[in-house]
Chains A and B, each alone.
Chain A
Amino acid sequence: MTFWYAFGDLNRKILLERVAAFNACQSRIEVKPVHQGDYFEALAKLRTAIAADRAPTLSHVVLEVLPYLARAGVLEPLDRYDGAGSIPFIPALTQAGSFAVDPRDSVFGIPFNRSTPIVFANRHALDRGAVALPSNWEELVDVARRLMRRAANGETRWGFEVPISWWYWVAMVGQAGGRLVDDSGRVTLGGDAGERAIRFWQRLVHEEHVMRPPAGRDYQAWQSTNENFLRGGVAMIWSSTAFVRYLEDNAPFPVVAGPLPRGPVRPSVPTGGTMFVILRAAPAEEKRAAWEFLRWMCDADQVIAWSTRTGYMPVTRAAVERLNAQGFYERHPNDRVAYEQLADVDPWPWEPELFRIERDAVEPRLEAAVFAGRDAHEVMQEAREDARRPG
């Protein structure tokens, strides 16, 4: 049974170890993992493979694309498989908890590597600046100012950095009191809140001069942010909880994590990461094999092995209870942040166009506003027009 995955580096190594362990613990099913680049590259290949009738049996996809693939009818409904209703998932991380969707609808995605954005800071820098992690936007500006350092040779340690990216913007839209889609199903992109989030970024970059947006796009910008943080070029970043272990293990200073600051209206974060999906066109026998593998991956042992070594959230209550009992969170307080932040999660709209809206309508406008200084209202107006236009 072929499994397409989209991880590199450490996460790839850990996943391959899990797959090898599954293949070794039974003899009926052999899972063949195939690396397909990053999330977006893997998605491009998956769509092409579906069109060519050469799709794998099992894959994992970013949350935003799940409604689109479900509407396209290419995903296998999973709720009728054995034991589907009895896996003790953490509700906020399931399809029903991650999307504003009727819980009676079919389940197409099984939580795999789930995350939320969190704050990471250099503890030495916080101590020397005598500041704590910010709890709201104004404090974020103030703390970032205090963390700025300009050396005589021109080298700068920036106060704050975050990729100019959809996921973080969505968090800020929620914090400013907005929602991407209103109650009538109309795509609003947060209305005023969407613009307010952009203006806050513009203020940090162009007025306060406490943030330099990372070069590159997509995961290159994420990687760049992490690297700038690790080499001491920035004191505080927003990144994914997925990088907890990576940042802790590689930073030459103690790393402290915290929840995203509350915005002017309310605390809010989106969830991220991917869900396992089984492709509907696969042979029935392979789909059953894929399901068996998924069940195995949802066992507490596997969930713990995956989450504690990567930083992604444990997706079942059984795993969390066991980690609590073992004192894991006492020893690793940074791992607890994302889990506790689940209380502030805003579910995604179950909007089939969501992924296209992200890529085509919003992402380029965020960059245009922050990098090129275009007016926030103007770019969001364009984004809304593009979002409502058929793809």
Chain B
Amino acid sequence: MLGPTLALLIAFFMLPIGIAAYESFFSWDLITPPRFVGGDNYRAVAAHGELVRVALRTLGYSALVVCGTMSTGLALALLLDRPGRVVAFVRASIFSAYVVSWVAVALLWMWILDPNAGIAGRVLRAFGVTQLSLLGDPRWALPTLALVGTWKLTGYAMIVFLAGLQNIPRPLQEAAALDGARALARLRYVTLPLLAPTAAFVATTTLVTSFQAFDIVRIITQGGPAGATELFVYAVYEQIFLNLSVGRASALTVVFFALLLAAAALQLRAWNVRGGSPR
């Protein structure tokens, strides 16, 4: 029974990673013969702290997107967990952003964030901020991109949290209310603990999605300004397709894989410690 899955896993995951690991020891541009360079590609991507910066940037982006998505998704779910046509319409409107492609979302936000003609620029100017370009300033570009990612994923988080909320037995809420627990206390001691598995699911899926961020980087910033939004997947794309360096792209891929492996191991360990390991 395990055979087909294992074959697919080997063909589409393990083999490509193995090939990338092998190619990371060569200088190769796709069309001239590869040349063995040992660990030079790893040294090159690590030079001047670039590898660490890309890794930290990707982690920072993911942290912002996961926290932003979970908090706004949960808040909206709590707010909209009630019957009514208007509420249903609002829920559908918020979720619609998740259905739209990343490319369309990126184009929409490029227009919104245009420092001169966009809504964001006008709002900033209304508050007296006249010199700030959210996508043109290296300090603001990554948080701005994370805002776009959060906006896109919030609808998804909201729907999953709504499903989680509706799975919480009503008698528990009613019993707590009869015991005198106010809304905030019920949220803290009943709702949130019972939503923990849902939150873990939302966190994991948005983390995976945010680590794979490519489209919005490619379309909105191309990794700029000054590399401030160069995330892992885009850095790999840039090395192989724009900088003509398969070896360096492969080295980045191997490092990225190792980081994800470490993150997955930590997560599994946390599950095991909490006794939440699925058996």
* A residues at B contact (CB < 8 Å): 40, 44, 47-48, 50-51, 68, 71-72, 74, 150, 153-156, 212-218, 220-221, 228, 231, 233, 355-356, 359-360, 364, 367-368, 370-372, 382, 385-386, 389-391
Instruction: Tell me which of B48, B131, B221, B242 contacts A216 (CB under 8 A).
Output: B221
B116 touches A47 (CB 8 A): no
Hey, which chain A residues are within 8 Å of B242, CB to CB? 40, 44, 359
- What are 12 pairs between A and B in contact, CB < 8 Å? A68-B29, A74-B31, A154-B128, A215-B115, A215-B225, A359-B243, A360-B239, A367-B224, A367-B226, A390-B35, A390-B37, A391-B243
Q: Nearest 9 CB-CB pairs, A to B?
A: A154-B130, A44-B241, A217-B222, A215-B136, A371-B226, A367-B226, A154-B125, A371-B225, A360-B243
- Which residues of A sit under 8 angstroms from B227, Cβ to Cβ? 364, 367-368
Q: Assess whether B125 is in contact with A68, with CB atoms less than 8 Å apart.
A: no
Q: Do A355 and B31 have beta carbons less than 8 Å apart?
A: no
Tell me the complex Cα distance, A72–B228, Å: 33
Contact A391 B224 (CB under 8 A): no
**Nearest chain B CB to A379 CB, angstrom units:** 9
Most buried by B among A44, A154, A355, A370: A154
Query: A371 and B40 in contact (CB under 8 A), knowing A50-B31, A154-B128, A391-B245?
Result: no
Closest to B227 in A: A364
A386 to B239, CA, bound (A): 13
CA A228 to CA B136, docked complex, whole Å: 14
Kindly state the separation between the CA atoms of A370 and B228 in the bound complex, as whole angstroms: 13
State A153–B126 Cα separation when bound (angstroms).
8
Complex Cα distance A368/B50, Å?
A: 12
- Write the chain A residue with the least CB distance to B247: A391
Q: Which residues of the partner chain B approach A154 to less than 8 Å between Cβ atoms?
A: 125, 128-130
Give the docked Cα–Cα distance between A107 and B226 (Å). Answer: 37
Besides A48-B30, A154-B129, A216-B135, 13 more A-B contacts (Cβ < 8 Å) are A48-B241, A153-B125, A156-B131, A212-B136, A215-B136, A228-B116, A233-B116, A355-B244, A359-B244, A368-B226, A370-B226, A390-B35, A391-B244
Contact between A382 and B48, CB atoms less than 8 A apart: yes
CA distance A356 to B222 in the complex (A): 17
**Per-position 1/0 for B222-246, Cβ under 8 A of A:** 1111111000000000110111110
The complex places the Cα of A368 from the Cα of B228 at a distance, in Å, of: 9
Chain A residues contacting B128 (CB-CB under 8 Å) are 154
Q: Which of B31, B138, B238 is in CB contact (< 8 Å) with A51?
A: B31
- What are the residues of chain B within 8 A of A385 when measuring CB–CB? 47
Measured CA separation A214–B115 after assembly (Å)? 10
A221 to B128, CA, bound (A): 26
Report the minimum CB–CB distance from A54 to chain B (whole Å).
13
Note all chain A residues with C-beta closer than 8 A to B40. Answer: 389-390
Q: Mark B48-92, 1 if CB is under 8 A from A, else 0.
A: 100000000000000000000000000000000000000000000
B48 nearest CB neighbor, chain A only: A382
B244 pairs with A47, CB closer than 8 A:
yes
Chain B residues in 8 Å Cβ range of A360: 239, 243, 245
B138 adjacent to A372 (CB under 8 Å): yes
Q: Is B27 an interface residue, CB under 8 A from the partner?
A: yes
Bound: A48/B30 CA distance, A: 7
Tell yes or no: B133 within 8 A of A by CB: yes
Cβ-based interface call for B117 (8 A): yes
Q: Which residues of B contact A153 (CB under 8 A)?
A: 125
Measured CA separation A260–B94 after assembly (Å): 50
Shortest Cβ distance from A353 into B: residue: B244
Contact between chains at B30 and A47 (CB < 8 Å): yes
Given A217-B222, A368-B226, does the pair A212, B133 have CB atoms closer than 8 Å? yes
Q: Give A69's nearest chain B residue, CB to CB.
A: B31
Q: State which residues 94-132 of B face A: CB under 8 Å.
A: 115-117, 125, 128-131
Please state if B44 and A364 are interface contacts (CB–CB under 8 Å).
Answer: no
User: What's the nearest-Cβ distance from chain B to residue A162, in Å?
Assistant: 14
Distance in angstroms between the alpha carbons of A217 and B130 in the assembled complex: 22
Contact of A356 (CB < 8 Å), options: B115, B116, B244: B244
**Nearest A residue to B229 by beta-carbon distance?**
A217
Q: Which residues of B contact A51 (CB under 8 A)?
A: 30-31
The smallest beta-carbon distance between B45 and chain A, in angstroms, is 11
Residues of B within 8 A of A217 (CB): 221-225
Q: Which residues of A contact B244 (CB under 8 A)?
A: 47, 68, 355-356, 359, 391
Partner of B226, one of A44, A216, A231, A364: A364
CB distance from A273 to the nearest CB of B (A): 19
Residue B32 at the chain A interface, CB threshold 8 Å: yes
- The answer on a CB contact under 8 Å between B125 and A371 is no
* Chain B, Cβ-Cβ closest to A209: B131
**A364 contacts which chain B residues (CB < 8 A)?**
226-227
Nearest A residue to B37 via CB reads A390
B contact residues around A372 at 8 Å (CB): 138, 225-226, 228
A51: nearest residue on chain B (CB-CB)?
B30
